[in-house]
Structures are given as C-alpha cells and as structure tokens.
Structure 1
Amino acid sequence: MIFTWTPHRFSGGALALDVANSVILRSDPARRTDRFEVTEQMQAFSAAAAEFSAERALFGEIKPVAEPNRKDFLALREAIDGYFRRRVEGHDDRVLLANLLQACARMLKQSASEATLEAATARSALRLLAETDRLKICGNCGWLFVDRSRNRSRTWCDMAVCGNRVKANRHYRRKKEAMP
C-alpha cells in the first residue's frame, strides 16, 4: 500500500518512536499494517523524517536504510517498540533493554556514516532512555509518544487527529444517548 508521509506520522516526538510507530494497529493482527513493508516507503521515510521529525535539528538530512541493513533495522524497530511500550505499561524488563541496546549497537556499528536512518534511529532510542518517564501510549491509535507538556497531561499522540477523533466520537455517543 502506497501513502504519503505526513506530519501526523511523526507525532511521536522522537525519531525512534516515529520508526516504531510505522506499524499501524500493532495490537490488532487482523488490521495491522507495516508501513515499511514496501521498500520504497521505508526509503521515503528518511526524507520525510528530515522534514517532519521532532529531532530533525539533531539529525538533519538522513540517508535511507542500506539494503544489507534492512533486516537489522526492522529488528531495531521492534526492539524500540518492545522495550518502550513495556516500560510505559510499568514493566522494566532487563531482557528487552538488553535487546534494545544490542540492536542499537549493531546499527551504529554497521552504519558507516552517522547520517543514516539506522544510526539516527539508534541514537534517538538511546536518548529516549533518559526520558522514559515522559513516554505514553496514545489512547486512540496506540502509538508511542513523548509527552513534553508542562504538566504531563497529554493523552493523544496528535490532538489534531487522534484527540479530535476521540472527542468527536464522545460527542456523537452523548448526542445519541440524549435522543428519545
């Protein structure tokens, strides 16, 4: 499936989370969609990340994933999601942390340049280890995101999309219940 990378797809607040969020409806096997399944989509992600990612100032222009690194990059994505999702759920799993650190090390070792998506994603994941108390899971779509609000009250990855959907659905239900 071909689609356009939009700012909403980069609402995680960190490149590593945007990469992890490239799997849509991760918890629903019947509707799960991997945005990186099509190689061209993964390659286009690099250019979009340089434009939309919250960490674009840190990483700037990012080269796409090199074909030999594709499998390890996808393993890094799963390690990022696995560790940080469990961490948000209240579990500090040392095995998942070790898997994440090994995947990051592998990507940094394989990347000849720091300007690759693989290296930038690994560095982003390592930076997130210091912000785990700010990580949340969107109440609508299930994406991981960094809550940088002052009082840490953010509920959705993107208010304009997920927040709006939840509020519209709530309004619809209230209105329907009020009807005789």
Structure 2
Amino acid sequence: MKKEKIIKERQSNVSKAGKDKEKEVIQLLLSDNEIREHFSIGHPSKVLKNIEELYIQYGDKSEMIDADVCVVRKKDNKLVCVISVKKSFRERGAQTAYWALKVKQYKKNYKYLLATPDVDKELFNPQNPENKRKWRVILPFESDGVFVYSYDGKLYEEHKFYVGKDYLLEYIKSLVSS
C-alpha cells in the first residue's frame, strides 16, 4: 500500500507540474498584445467550438491527440495551431513525435508544435548548442516546430528548432494570415 501511495503522489506532482508549464505557455502567448488581439489561446475545451478537430480515428474508435494548448484565430474561429507542452522528455518525446505524425497523416489543417522549458537540458545545452541528442534530431523533423521557451530573446535557431521566447511569439504571430 505504501508503494502505491508513493506512486500516486508522484504522478499527481508530475501532472501538476505539467499543468503549470501549460499555464506558462498560455501566459507567455497572452502577454503579447498582437497575439491577444488576433487569437484565443487556451486548453481545447476552453477555446474550441468543435473539439472533434483534435480526434484521430482508429477503426471504430477515436482518440484525442496530445493537445495541451490550442491557438484559435478570432476572425474566422479557425484552429491554426496545437501546442504540446512538455517539461522533460525521457518517454514523452515519442508521444509528441507520434501525434505530430498523426496530424500530418490525417492532413489536419493546423500546425503541431512542441513547447518546452527543457528543464533537464535534454534538447539544448547552452554550453554545447550543437550537441544533438535523440529527441533533438527527431522532433523538429516530425513536428512543425520545437520551441525551448525558457530563455529570453532569440538564442539559437536550426531547422524548426528554436531557443528563446521570441521565436515562439513570432511563430504564432505568423499564423494570423495562414
């Protein structure tokens, strides 16, 4: 019983930490006046009228993709971007790559991004920015963009991999007319 309680407590803490990171991304995006003017941003149930856009069919069943934050353009109420927010990667990189592939496979009409503070420096180490570990290679190729938002300004850019808050803000702004 004690072991089960420890596991449940850890899972609860991990879930809370993940929700906190989602809030960070939402707050970052909403801190920009232009983004706030043109987009509704939040959890899918808060900003989408048709949540079915986020489902993938598996035979007679359907499952919702990993959609932590949705970006909906106000002028036409169009979902333009889904953001998967990950605090760290270990087993989660595969989940993000999988859903990015499914979004492409089913020709969904929105971008699929990954946003992370990269707390464990699994994707980007400022002392060795050229070092590419497994997920750093895979994720930019499978998704529409990978954004390490825990740094101010623009620190590093390479094939759909961006380090710095400004890159994420600029990317979202570019979706105004997409």
Pairwise TM-score range, normalised by the shorter structure:
under 0.3
Structure 1 or 2: larger helix share? 1
